[in-house]
């Protein structure tokens, strides 16, 4: 049976909006969904978030998938970097993922700085899967559309750009995610 780990973004939680919808829809397709409330969500730190996944996800295989929102996408990638080479997963969906952000307040810039400057080894990530979907919005105030190129060029991700979905915080469903699991 497929299983999905749903990782929320900065300041978020494991419930609300499209997360609740995913948790209802994927089980209808015989897919188990696990979601976590990540530690210190208002001040996310790479080491803490990746360690949290390492401590709470014990068994990954070809039926394991990840869905991340915003900083959750980076957390998933950084987790995958650390997996043993032989571990192969089914794939990843990244919603409003980023490597740089715009329009941040000074305090937010301090929190984001390690996430925007610590390198990610894309080749190590791609050892575990080559099945990536990255979903963006044309009016996201924090994630510029130029981020699409990084996901496409470095991960070979299929890119979907939605209209007027912001940072996907007030969105109740993302049907393209269900389609990803049906293919």
Tens-digit pLDDT profile for residues 124-141: 999 999 999 999 999 999
pLDDT at 75: 98
Mean pLDDT taken over the chain: 97
Number of domains in the chain: 1
Please give the residue range of the domain that contains residue 7. Answer: 2-182
Interval 138-173: pLDDT, tens: 999 999 999 999 999 999 999 999 999 999 999 999
> Which residues, listed in sequence order, are joined to residue 66 by a DSSP beta bridge?
5, 92
pLDDT band at 67 (very low <50, low <70, confident <90, very high): very high
State pTM to two decimals.
Answer: 0.97
Residue 182 has pLDDT above 90, yes or no: no
Residue 183 has pLDDT above 80, yes or no: no
CATH number at residue 142: 3.40.50.1820
């Amino acid at each position: 049976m497929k299983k999905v780990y749903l990782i929320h973004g900065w300041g978020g939680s494991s419930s609300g909006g499209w997360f609740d919808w995913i948790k209802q829809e994927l089980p209808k397709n015989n897919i188990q969904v696990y979601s976590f409330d990540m530690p210190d969500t208002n001040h996310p730190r790479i080491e803490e978030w990746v360690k949290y996944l390492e401590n709470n996800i014990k068994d990954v295989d070809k039926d394991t998938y990840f869905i991340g929102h915003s900083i959750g996408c980076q957390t998933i990638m950084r987790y995958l970097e650390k997996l043993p080479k032989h571990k192969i997963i089914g794939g990843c969906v990244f919603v409003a993922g980023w490597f740089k952000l715009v329009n941040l307040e000074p305090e937010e810039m301090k929190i984001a700085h390690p996430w925007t400057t610590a390198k990610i080894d894309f080749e190590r990530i791609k050892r575990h899967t080559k099945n990536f979907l990255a979903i963006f919005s044309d009016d996201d105030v924090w994630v510029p559309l130029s981020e699409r190129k990084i996901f496409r060029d470095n991960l070979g991700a299929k890119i979907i750009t939605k209209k007027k979905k912001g940072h996907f915080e007030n969105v109740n469903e993302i049907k393209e995610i269900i389609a990803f699991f049906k293919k």
